[in-house]
Amino acid sequence: MQTATTLAEYQNLTGRERRLSYLPERLATAYPIRESGEALVTLQDAGHEAGIELALAPIAPGLGVEDLKLRKEAAKRLVAAARELPEGIRFKIVEAYRPLAIQRQYFAEVSAEIARDEGLSGEALWERVTEFVADPALCPPHTTGGALDCTLVDVNGVELDMGSPLNAVDDRSYTDAPELSAEARKNRDLLCDTLLAAGFVNLPTEWWHYSYGDQYWAAFTRVPAALYGSLETG
């Protein structure tokens, strides 16, 4: 996977090239924010109001279905995307807005896992960890209320084959990972194409992670500033 070394380099890429290129955390989080003040809404309510069924299955410790929230516009776009899925297929949302305390917990856990499994430390460890979980000291996308982690399920609630588990911490998680089966590639493409058409962008190191309004989205779409900052730190 190509990794951008400067923001200008990244933004000069074509849209297709940006989809396949990683913008490192230190570049994405330097992007300006003009906080919109938009409220959070629960995905449960957004789905019910629109008559759309979303499979809501929170995985964050201590959080329930009522805690799966997005900013109002992001939730509206998710519902619009859900309408475009083929009959019998639904989005399964496992995380959306994430409190900073949980972000800190995840960052510590993934840091320890990668240090153990890949033998990294210092700057190299930080660079690798932030491919999969944002540094809580910066502006993590999930803390803005603009990011979600999701997959696809069939009419029985069974997850479609995506080629790796959701939240796997290895190169299989890359959206364009090589050596996927034809079925996994088809399912990843469906997830990606549907959400991109609704205005979300994908983090190419995580096939399940999409966002609207945060700094990564702003850099990808080349708008002047992000719409959403962290709801706890600004």
pLDDT tens-digit map of 35-58: 999 999 999 999 999 999 999 999
Instruction: Find the CATH number of the domain harbouring 205.
Output: 3.30.1380.10
Q: What is the mean pLDDT of residues 71-77?
A: 98
- In a domain, residue 229? The reply is no
Q: Give the domain range for residue 188.
A: 2-221
The band of 65, judged by pLDDT with boundaries at 50, 70 and 90, is: very high
CA 228 – CA 67 distance, rounded (Å):
18
- In a domain, residue 215? The reply is yes
- In a domain, residue 114? The reply is yes
Q: What pLDDT is attached to residue 130?
A: 97
- In a domain, residue 160? The reply is yes
Phi, psi for 177 (deg, rounded to 5): -55, 140
- In a domain, residue 97? The reply is yes
- In a domain, residue 234? The reply is no
Q: What is the mean pLDDT of residues 155-167?
A: 96
CB burial of residue 8 (10 Å; 0-12, 13-18, 19+) = exposed
The band of 233, judged by pLDDT with boundaries at 50, 70 and 90, is: confident
Q: What pLDDT is attached to residue 234?
A: 66
Note the pLDDT tens digit of each residue in 78-127. 999 999 999 999 999 999 999 999 999 999 999 999 999 999 999 999 99
CA 110, 112, 118 angle in degrees (round to 5)?
90
Give the count of beta carbons closer than 10 Å to the beta carbon of residue 135: 17
- In a domain, residue 26? The reply is yes
Q: What is the mean pLDDT of residues 17-22?
A: 95
| Tokens at 153, concatenated | 């399920």
Count of domains forming the chain: 1
CA 16, 133, 103 angle in degrees (round to 5)?
135
- In a domain, residue 17? The reply is yes
